[in-house]
Structure 1
């Protein structure tokens, strides 16, 4: 997909540039060819007109020929010399008409009293004996300042000719005599020539004289020009566009410097630009097909890639949830197969290492918990046994009344019984979770021993939420904290003290507070205790407090640990928060 989008962008740019090139260069080339065609028409037509120019130049520069013609036109009879001159003039006039298929006839007229003129067809002839004499009226009606002009006439060859022949008469007045040379050209000849030169269907080629009359055309119907003549005349540029009833037409025009004729070509835009339009449509079609194919390919690749990515995400999700993973692919077909193969390989290796690390971590934590718990038992056991030993010695050395002996022996018995319960509780399944009620009962046995040892120097108040009694907790987490309150708070106090244990259930947590009104802790010492608990340094004092805090963090995580507040000569408070949802797990 990464290479398809650049390809489509390049294709779009290529097609856009192609369309611009077609519209700019191909159209310009077509217009140029159309102008070249018009120039070719102009050259062919005006080359034919040179016969008129040659004869005009001959007579204007040959006074003898003019005088000869005048003498022949003024005589009613001829001698041998005049007959030779007559044949010479007639041959000269007839030569172009006989050699050029497009010349119908040539007339030479010089004012004479006999009303005669020379014709290339019949020689010396009078107006009374010919049918075609409308040209003479045109000559007479023209202003003397007009030296040359053209006129499209319908000439009848005889009285029997009903339709006549379209003749273009080109008039050229003589400079050295009162006369005119008239070159009569067959209009159909040039019309057919224009038909043969027009290379496109529906192309109209028109040659218009100074008066705006069509003199030659490849169209029998001149409505295309006459209906739009006013619109054409407004354009001075060589190439222009006009709106006609049948649509847009592209026009080209040239103006003859010699004859002042205007050569005009009119072609339907759809015809002239048919090839550029086809090329443009082809380019657009190719672009659309390429885009459709490209988008289909992109859709296919995107869908395939999406499936592969979804497969990778599924593998990652399964790995995170600890679900079974699929087997790595046998063959790597693409980059996704390579990624999946490496992901599975990595996860398999990581899972194996993770299992090994988890087992090691579990064993280390279990060993650490046992070590911490074992630190508590010998310390307490030593103190209790020492108390029992002293009580026995007191019973042996001091004489007591007989009525007191059973009570004293019973106290020692209860102390040994409580010690037995505590040892049994701590040594049986040390990593087992117990209910809060069980932990409290064991702690009460411990409190009874301590009260016996310190001769009821303190009292313990229990404020427990009954709804929390079924929550499970780790063993022996209350005993070290109460021991800490007794040893570092109540013991140092000169009077009796109170320890209050408050246990409440709050949302998903179990909140435990142990408060004593002992001597408290100095501010500096309190800060050291807090820092050592965070840094987990080896303690020299408050061993039970440190060990219990470490056990809680190992059991429930770093977010759960002991907080302690204290004020010197006022007392101390220890706060514990334990997650209930973990305890119920």
Structure 2
């Protein structure tokens, strides 16, 4: 820009000396190639400050968010799997507790075997049975996740002890599928075996119950050959409910797998089963969790050796990295938007610079053409060279166009004066028209009449409304205006309106808001004459501290409590009402003139009793000079 302005000054100096080399054309250096160079230069200067912070911030946001989300999800999964692990440990502890009683205690073992094998029950056996039933009832009834517990010893009667049915026979029980597995479990060496079963309630096949059954065979003194069995039926719904509470991410799911990798319990939104690595025990971290990726999912597993379970959590990576992907898309979109706006701004800057250059050249070439209006001189200064050029141009053109500017100002002033005179014609036209009507009416009757008096009073009302722009007037002027209005209404409704004036002469100089009382009198007459033929209005003025209090009271129909509350609500809102426009207008004008007033003592207050009349109280603050 400095080089351009220097060249312009040189060109202007040569032209003043009589050179015709440039004529009416722009300098040769102002061409499309230079414009492209300017555009690229502006674009680079704009993009570098925009792109570098945006790319740095976007990259750091994506990296930090990705790291934070992965760690947060892993920590959340670890906490939830640890909670499930604690629950499973409690279940295995319950099985171990039963095993200590029914497998390791010879007294209990022999007593229960005798009860199951005997044909009759002695008193001692009944007491022992009652005690043993309580032993298995405690975990079954106190733990919400345990559905029932069975204790079985091989016996010729086919009996077993159940927490639900007590001492019963297998052939008479509703649940017998567990006994069908007993033959397979007799030679098993595993400490605990788990399977999922379906049992029929009360023998009806259409009312089945899904159970997660844990078997613990025991030999009670015969190693290698199991002759008894502890069966604990766990409700899978308890785990499924826990899974539901853990579903913080929409597509994450949990399941519990047995030693063969088959799912035992799954969450409601469970997807495909994930094969666990055979060497997962070597892959365990310090917290006992195995973490690996399978396909497009992050898998976290925890092994339970006692129950031979694997607690598995699967989180799809598209759900895990949805926020980082969104940040990537937003960063790309912001880069594109920045590129677009930077290009537009660079193009606008380039055009603005060349428009300034062209404007300066036009000013220089039109300087000798005295019949042309004064061109606009750029007012914005970006550097010292522009200030020098602007100063030279202003000094060169000031003398030439000073007379034109003065004549234009004079013409504008005359135009404003003409408009002011025209604006004063409308009120005078109305006054003259009313006076013409007044004399025409007087000529028709050859004497003053009611029409003449009403026209004269109406003319006075109009003159009072538009003769001055002051918002505050003396009380005597406002009272005179109200009296003129009352005279007009008395002419319309003779012997129906009685107005009592209660005011001291010393209050006539107090300042009140212009046309603030006439709307109140108009409301009293309008609504009062609809219900009464003898309307009485009292206007009372009193000086109360720094305020002039004006009270307008009538004996009209009054206002109901509901309507009065609605009016007060309308005053506090900005909605223009369909009725009581005068009250609303007066309230708003008072608020604009004096402020909203105190909450305990507002500037306009309405008291009314339905059927007895209405009282409107106005306060006009009197400011002493």
TM-score in terms of structure 2 length:
0.46
Q: Which protein, 1 or 2, shows the higher relative CO under an 8 Å CA cutoff with sep ≥ 6?
A: 2
Question: TM-score normalised to the size of structure 1?
Answer: 0.49
